[in-house]
Structure 1
Amino acid sequence: MKDSNITRKDFLRNSVLGVAGLTVGSSFLNTATASAITETNSEIKTASSKNYTLKNVRLETGFEYEEVEAVRTKTELFCIEISDGKIKAISANKPNATAIDAKGFLMLPAFRDMHIHLDKTFYDDWHAIKKRTGGVKGMIALEQQILPEMLKTSTQKAEKLIALLQSHGTSFARSHVNIEPTSKLQSLKNLQKALENKKNTFGAELVAFPQHGVFYTDSVPYLKEAAKMDIDFIGGLDPFSIDGAIEKTIDFTVQLALDNNKGIDIHLHESGESGVKTIDYLIAKVNENSALKGKTFLSHCFALGKLDKTKQEEMAEKLSNAQIGIVSTVPFGSLVMPIPTLMKYGVNVMTGNDSIIDHWNTFGTGSVLQKANLAAQLYGQATEFGLSRMLKLATAGSIPLDDKGIQQWPKTGDKADLVFLDATCSAEAVSRMSPVRMLIHNGNIV
């Protein structure tokens, strides 16, 4: 703070962003718009009105071109009126209005982490992973040993992990949750408690995930029970290498999804012939059952990275026609996923952090903007246009300007899931991983 003489009372009145990690200045919000601010047991609690206005909001309005190349992004300042969780109005800026002052920060769609495991994490404790033995089946054996102890604190750990995501501008996640004989349904119930506690500031959709195989361990009865609960997708894991049968496992997964009106999201790590056969078989099943189009996803799908360019193009076209999406964690090293090719053919490509400080991986930061940055570097998207397109990976698709530079977001009636960054445009935000200054979820100031 610039004013070293500010009183503690003034600081408490003005400090309304309580999520750990958000670095907004204490004067970001005009106190006239807050309905109540109270201090209890040294905690700052904020209750914001359901209806409020933001001023000095920076929005992208188009591209500036040199010949045919977009070289800069045009922006202007606006007033944004929020009402009952939605954008009620977008109007010319009124810098002297009594409103929350957005300080000229760039407003973007709030970020969405579309592949994460909120139900099993060591966060915020530190644990490096142990040396792996026995591949995925070895990790299944490890989980069978450690999950009972992890379940004792999984609700609290999930809440801390959600706060980390929020601090990086994420207000929504698709979380896979273990459904298997060791956890039974307890991992799901524990995560649901955490999400209930965070319901005003964070949204989620859940995948019933047979981490220990559908048939390798007898997960079938638990998956059937979970499918009748408040979950959104039926998951899966490497049907050939874990369950030993592609058709049997995919048939079960598809039928369970159809019977319960759920989507599908399958972890597919297999990168060889079995991986390609699994992709082809799932495409065939989705084409047979149109209700699954637009609701079916393959996570990781490393087999695509092993195909030659021609085969990648063919597979991308088939995935697009079947409306099957790919959720990639943007791997590096020798395996490079064909994300630009998938996007070229209109495949819905999303990303997520996957693991954050757990027994599988320790490198997750909680930032999907970082994933967009890594993808931009990996695929050489260094231009104004290319960087702005990579923002799709952080938002799960929504970006302010279409490919012709026409503003397509925000619009009146859009859900007020918004993130404010210290950046001049989305291209800069992706390139520099610009800091988050405020997060709004469903109209609620996080």
Structure 2
Amino acid sequence: MKDTTLNSAVIREVRPWGGDLSDVTVVDGHISAVTPHNPAAAHGGETVVEGRGRLLLPSFSDVHVHLDSTRLGLPFREHTGAPGVWGMMMNDRNNWRNAETPIGERVETALRMMIERGTTRVRSYAQVDVDCGLERFEAVAAARETHKDRAEVKIIAFPQAGLLLEKGSAELLEEALKAGADVVGGIDPCSLDRDPVRHLDLVFGLAEKYQLPIDIHLHEPGELGLFSADLIAERTRALGMQGNVTISHGYPLWGVSEARTRALIETWAELDISTATVAPGTGHHPPLAQLVEAGVRVGLGEDGQRDYWSPYGNADMLARTWQLAFVNGFRADELIEHAVAVATMGGASILDRSTPRLRSVADRPGTQVSDVASFVLVAGDSVAAAVMDKPEDRTVLHRGRVVADQLELV
């Protein structure tokens, strides 16, 4: 397909969210019309993208990925990580420099593979600590620049090793923000740094100073995790940061009791605290239907991809959507389609708070007039069938422009 910047384009013969055959007109990166497919229609001055009867879905939004922690494209390596966050982090620290290719090349490869498979919205962590300094952040920033016309990438400056355990960690986090990071990261304020007040004061203080949102990894179990979540909510309310805080992972929060689950959902809905899941294979899972029906923004991500933490991950958010549906026990088509909505526009609403959040399992946004024209065209009898089969016949558009076709950049 011709790689041309589109002011005006028509995507012919597609089925938005598996519906009727349609022609979708795009002007300046947004949908201007969706009309019944007309095989005889002439499109003289417009660029034409042939849908061939494929599904038209919003492009994927990976809102929890570690682009700086990947071995995609490299030989498979046995897993050597020790249990626990600190043990896994040290395994990564001891090995990330010794890979067969430099960190910049690995990051670019992972982002390219994600785009080729249909992801054009990304929120990536970039680890900053006393071991790597800003080297990993700079690698993610360079890949973002390389693919700036193919995907929207936001970078989270992420203190994987905590902020208090190693001298200079907080200063490095601030250096990354000065260098252009988009989000302030935090992690396990109780179990890792063992001082939630100081940890959260640093994270929220930097967010307030630089007027940036926050994303906090929370692996802490049960009541301890709920305690941290309560402290995060208190600061969100006190500092007027509604709509600017994401709690990622947080799986043990959902296994304490039904009453605590209801209270947590109500608080997050009130303060517009969003959450990102990676559909883990073990433990508890966020109650997707309850969250979206309450108005909580929920997104999906791939986490690390074939890295020093885990051998899982393949840059394909359609495969991760299958995993999201599977671990939640979804069988009905409507629920499997809901998993796609979470993986696409659910995450988009976290990246851009002006994007409407999902409000029910029946919401199918992203393909209406005035929506941003970022899509993946994928073969399939239905949306649920595409999730099950994960076909490779895909065309990816970012803001009305074809950026990948048949799993290759154009």
Task: Mark yes or no: TM-score above 0.5.
Answer: yes
Provide the rounded CA distance (Å) in 2 between the counterparts of 1:221 and 1:373: 40
CA apart distance, 1:392: 2.0
Match of 2:13 among 56, 73, 83: 56
Match of 1:264 among 204, 214, 225: 214
Q: SS of the counterpart of 1:419?
A: strand
CA apart distance, 1:405: 6.5
CA apart distance, 1:59: 2.1
After superposition, give the CA deviation of every residue in 1:72-131 in whole Å (9 maximum; x if it has no partner): x6x222222223322233333221334332111111110111110112222211343433
Partner of 1:415: 372
* Structure 1 contact 151–187 (Cα < 8 Å) conserved: no
Partner of 1:238: 188
Tell me if 1:253 matches 2:203. yes
After superposition, give the CA deviation of every residue in 1:119-153 in whole Å (9 maximum; x if it has no partner): 22222113434333363222333344334445971
Change (3 A) 1:151 1:143: farther
Partner of 2:320: 371
Tell me if 1:87 matches 2:37. no
After superposition, give the CA deviation of every residue in 1:264-315 in whole Å (9 maximum; x if it has no partner): 101111113321111110011111122x211211111122133122221221
AA matched with 1:427:
A
Q: SS of the counterpart of 1:390?
A: helix
Provide the rounded CA distance (Å) in 2 between the counterparts of 1:431 and 1:139: 32
AA matched with 1:442:
R
* Structure 1 contact 110–171 (Cα < 8 Å) conserved: yes
* Structure 2 contact 333–384 (Cα < 8 Å) conserved: yes
AA matched with 1:59:
P
AA matched with 2:189:
P
Q: SS of the counterpart of 1:241?
A: coil
Match of 1:78 among 22, 28, 47: 22
After superposition, give the CA deviation of every residue in 1:223-243 in whole Å (9 maximum; x if it has no partner): 112222322210011112221
Q: SS of the counterpart of 2:371?
A: coil
Provide the rounded CA distance (Å) in 1 between the counterparts of 2:183 and 2:340: 25
* Structure 1 contact 112–170 (Cα < 8 Å) conserved: yes
Match of 1:170 among 104, 119, 124: 119
* Structure 2 contact 91–309 (Cα < 8 Å) conserved: no
Q: SS of the counterpart of 2:303?
A: coil
* Structure 1 contact 200–442 (Cα < 8 Å) conserved: no
AA matched with 1:77:
L
Provide the rounded CA distance (Å) in 2 between the counterparts of 1:56 and 1:216: 57
Provide the rounded CA distance (Å) in 1 between the counterparts of 2:326 and 2:79: 30
* Structure 1 contact 167–436 (Cα < 8 Å) conserved: no
Q: How does 1:293-442 map to 2 (within 5 A)?
A: 293-397=242-346, 408-442=365-399
Match of 1:228 among 178, 181, 196: 178
Q: How does 1:144-183 map to 2 (within 5 A)?
A: 144-149=93-98, 153-183=102-132
Q: How does 1:25-64 map to 2 (within 5 A)?
A: 34=2, 46-47=3-4, 49-60=6-17
Where does structure 1 lack aligned partners over 5 or more consecutive residues? 1-15, 17-33, 35-45, 61-72
AA matched with 1:79:
D
Q: SS of the counterpart of 2:190?
A: helix
Partner of 1:285: 235
Return 184-193 or 93-102, whichever deviates more: 93-102
> What is the count of residue pairs matched by the alignment?
389
After superposition, give the CA deviation of every residue in 1:296-353 in whole Å (9 maximum; x if it has no partner): 1111112213312222122111122121111111112344443333334222111111
Change (3 A) 1:347 1:401: closer
Match of 1:117 among 56, 63, 66: 66
Please identify the structure whose Cα radius of gyration is greater. Answer: 1
After superposition, give the CA deviation of every residue in 1:402-430 in whole Å (9 maximum; x if it has no partner): 85968754233322211101124333333
Provide the rounded CA distance (Å) in 2 between the counterparts of 1:119 and 1:404: 33
Partner of 1:101: 50
Provide the rounded CA distance (Å) in 1 between the counterparts of 2:390 and 2:139: 33
Provide the rounded CA distance (Å) in 2 between the counterparts of 1:133 and 1:214: 21
* Structure 1 contact 236–265 (Cα < 8 Å) conserved: yes
CA apart distance, 1:370: 2.5
Provide the rounded CA distance (Å) in 1 between the counterparts of 2:60 and 2:344: 4
The percentage of aligned residue pairs carrying the same residue is: 25
Match of 2:143 among 178, 188, 194: 194
RMSD: 2.6
Provide the rounded CA distance (Å) in 1 between the counterparts of 2:358 and 2:297: 17
Structure with the larger RCO, 1 or 2 (CA within 8 Å, 6+ apart): 2
Q: SS of the counterpart of 2:67?
A: coil
* Structure 1 contact 349–396 (Cα < 8 Å) conserved: no
Provide the rounded CA distance (Å) in 2 between the counterparts of 1:77 and 1:223: 49
Provide the rounded CA distance (Å) in 1 between the counterparts of 2:364 and 2:110: 34
Q: SS of the counterpart of 2:248?
A: strand
* Structure 1 contact 176–209 (Cα < 8 Å) conserved: yes
Partner of 1:19: none
Partner of 1:208: 157
Where does structure 2 lack aligned partners over 5 or more consecutive residues? 349-355, 404-410
* Structure 2 contact 265–296 (Cα < 8 Å) conserved: yes
* Structure 1 contact 185–226 (Cα < 8 Å) conserved: yes
After superposition, give the CA deviation of every residue in 1:237-270 in whole Å (9 maximum; x if it has no partner): 1112221111110111011101101111011111
Give the alignment's TM-score, normalised by structure 2.
0.87
